[in-house]
Structure 1
Amino acid sequence: MNKFIKSITIVIVSYIFIRFIKYITKKIFDITRFDVQYERTVISIIVSISYYLSFFTACILILKEYGIIDFNQSTILTGAGLFGLVAGFASQSLIKDILNGFFILFEKQMKVGDYVLINERFRGTVEEIGLRSISIRDWDLRRISLPNGEIKSIMNYSRKKMRVIIHVRVSYESDPNLVIQALEEVCVILNEKYKEFLVKNMMKEPSNPFKVYGVTDIYKDSIGAQYTITGVVEPFKYWSISKDARLNILLKFKEKGIKIAYPKRVNINLDEYDNYL
């Protein structure tokens, strides 16, 4: 019974240790001036390490209480040999996860709060970065955990700047000059409305404001010509500005009577066609 109480005490102390690490880490970063995303990333890593340390330490101490392991020299050497054997056969994926996680952190490929696309399949906001795995939250608010060793590619949508590219296809019957004029007016609206979120140059002026890129396709299909506008914005405003840009294009086209291209279906009456022949 005494051993059971000691085991429970070890588990409780381990839990308190983890909570203390989380608390003290948060308090330390509360008085610093680091970037918020950087703080969350470092906190996530520290907490991950503390979980592993607490878990393995608690396991060793509990096993020692029950006499399963003993800290004498021969046992330590035997345990080290067994551990090496187990690590060689059973822990290759774990070691791969940790090594890959180290390189992801060292190369700053992502931070907590970044919006990423992983392996061209998993898309969401990074919530936690650990030594063995990362967790992201997708659009449906599902939490997805991925082992670091399985991460092959990372597309980060939250690094410094992003180019908004809006394509719109307009009927060939529409006057190209009128379409370009309408799109230029939309660009003026966007540049004025979002001027504080446009990426600035050294002179604090927008380096790539919204502008009409021009006609970007007339051969892809037969329904109409494709026009494009572009602009470089702060990454955290990319999605909202993109949506507003599309809305403004629709409103401006409606104002000027410009029709968006769409597939048309032509019905032919074969009886009338035969009579005509």
Structure 2
Amino acid sequence: MFNLEWFNKLPVKILIVAFVIVITAYFIRKSVRIFFDKTSFLDENREETLMHFTDQVIKVLGLVFFFIYVFSHFFDLARLVTGSVVVAGALALIFQHIIRDYIMGLAYLFERQINLGDYVIINGNKQGKIEEISMRHLKIRQYDGYLYTVSYGSINELQNGNRGMRRVNESLILNYRQNPDEAFKVMEEVARICNEKYNEYLLTDLDGKPVEKFKFNQITELNVDYKGHRYSLSGIVKEAYFVDASKRVRYELALAAYMNNLLMAENGDIELNKRPGSQPSV
């Protein structure tokens, strides 16, 4: 005969609760996905952003409910929190920052300031593509390949490049032995060529004038990874042409570096044989 007392054992209760939480989370996510598939009042990118955020919320709530249930069998949580001034103060301090991050995250999300895949600049110094939107932070993939995580509460300034325009920002990292004067001439010539060949990619104002032409920004970073200096070129283009414009600008930079025998930054102690006194031929 089946023994019902077996279900009253704590390990079994914990497993049952965990199973119920997993099944409930699955059906909630499935229901949200079906809802978005059957409706069309949001664009696909926005739907993916909300779906991704919903997944994060469900995971966090599921873990919170599970741990509260487990700890409630070993501790009197209400007495533990209210009976210790130190613990209560520490929890209040922690939750202050957490709640702030949650509130600001919801504000960014529901005010439609960010979406998955958007190109953003955080606090003026970190830029890249949004790869993850969670309840407390953003993760952006920078051009150097690093994944940068920033909490919503630490965001003082957010620039979104997916609002009708994008800034192409490409660069060459040249060896520190490269003559800057020669490099400047080459980069300025590349900017001129890009403005001539890819003028239709540039975003224009109401008068038909480019908002920001391709321009050479001179040396934007010194001693990059102890290899060389960064020479950057940028321009504001229409959002639809961003990927193609970036590829073409990179091609022009690579071609100019080859044609002018510029000293590229390299790993290791590689012998560099640049002809002294050579002049740009672009």
Q: What TM bracket, shorter-length normalisation? A: 0.5 to 0.7
Letter in 2 for 1:38: R
Q: What does residue 26 of structure 1 align with? A: 33
Change (3 A) 1:17 1:199: farther
Q: Please list every run of 5 or more consecutive structure 1 residues that lacks an aligned counterpart in the other structure.
A: 70-74, 172-178, 218-228, 253-258, 267-277
Matched, 1:47 2:71: no
Task: Specify the structure having the higher radius of gyration (Cα).
Answer: 1
Under a length normalisation based on structure 1, what TM-score does the superposition of the two structures give? Answer: 0.60
Change (3 A) 1:265 1:199: closer
Q: What does residue 63 of structure 1 align with? A: 71
Equivalent of residue 239 in structure 2, options 221, 235, 247: 235
> 2: distance between equivalents of 1:52 and 1:80?
21
> 1: distance between equivalents of 2:56 and 2:49?
11
Paired positions, count: 231
Q: 1:102-131 CA deviation, whole Å, 9 max, x = no partner? A: 332244332111122223443322122222
Q: 1:252-276 CA deviation, whole Å, 9 max, x = no partner? A: 9xxxxxx9999x966xxxxxxxxxx
Q: Say whether the 8 Å CA contact 1:198–1:206 is kept in structure 2.
A: no
Q: Say whether the 8 Å CA contact 2:202–2:213 is kept in structure 1.
A: no
Equivalent of residue 162 in structure 1, options 160, 166, 172: 166
Q: Say whether the 8 Å CA contact 2:116–2:130 is kept in structure 1.
A: yes
Matched, 1:100 2:107: no
Change (3 A) 1:125 1:251: closer
- Aligned alpha-carbon RMSD (Å): 4.7
Q: Say whether the 8 Å CA contact 2:167–2:237 is kept in structure 1.
A: yes
Change (3 A) 1:135 1:17: farther
Letter in 2 for 1:132: R
Q: 1:1-57 CA deviation, whole Å, 9 max, x = no partner? A: 711011012122222222322222222212222222211221122222222221222
Letter in 1 for 2:30: Y
Matched, 1:135 2:139: yes
SS at match of 1:54: helix
> 2: distance between equivalents of 1:261 and 1:166?
16
Letter in 1 for 2:164: K
> 2: distance between equivalents of 1:54 and 1:12?
11
> 2: distance between equivalents of 1:108 and 1:27?
22
Deviation at 1:251, TM superposition (A): 7.8
> 2: distance between equivalents of 1:250 and 1:136?
26
Equivalent of residue 20 in structure 2, options 13, 20, 37: 13
SS at match of 2:198: helix
Under a length normalisation based on structure 2, what TM-score does the superposition of the two structures give? Answer: 0.59
